[in-house]
Amino acid sequence: MSPIVWLALAIVAFVAAYLAGWPALQSSRSRDARDLNAERYLAWRGRAVRGEAPRTREGRTGEEQRRIYLGAALAAAGVLALVAFFITSG
């Protein structure tokens, strides 16, 4: 294949990885921040549950986890396409 095709494939893969993975990652982070803020507020108001350790993280939803894995796979494909571009253009 032509080097420019490999470069185009790398760019498309990186953009697709960003579009697939970034919103899921941001959603997970913002939910964790909201949960932490709610726990802090309840503790500040004196309504926190006493005698128990703070709740553990809920983690990511199944959909978020799938989208993050898809983004990682697309990023890996982009790296391989970029390596192929450098190999074929040299």
Examine residue 30 and state whether it is found in any structural domain, yes or no: yes
Examine residue 78 and state whether it is found in any structural domain, yes or no: yes
Whole-number pLDDT of residue 56:
61
* C-alpha to C-alpha distances, 59 to 16, 17, 52, nearest whole angstrom: 24, 21, 20
Examine residue 66 and state whether it is found in any structural domain, yes or no: yes
The count of structural domains within the chain is 1
Examine residue 54 and state whether it is found in any structural domain, yes or no: no
CA dist 78 and 42 (Å) reads 45
Radius of gyration of the chain (CA): 21
CB 6, CB 86: distance < 8 Å: no
This prediction's pTM: 0.72
- 22-43 tens-digit pLDDT: 999 888 888 777 777 777 777 7
Q: Which two tokens stand for residue 50?
A: 């006493």
Examine residue 84 and state whether it is found in any structural domain, yes or no: yes
Helix or strand or coil: residue 48?
coil
Residue range of the domain that includes 7: 3-49+59-89
Examine residue 36 and state whether it is found in any structural domain, yes or no: yes
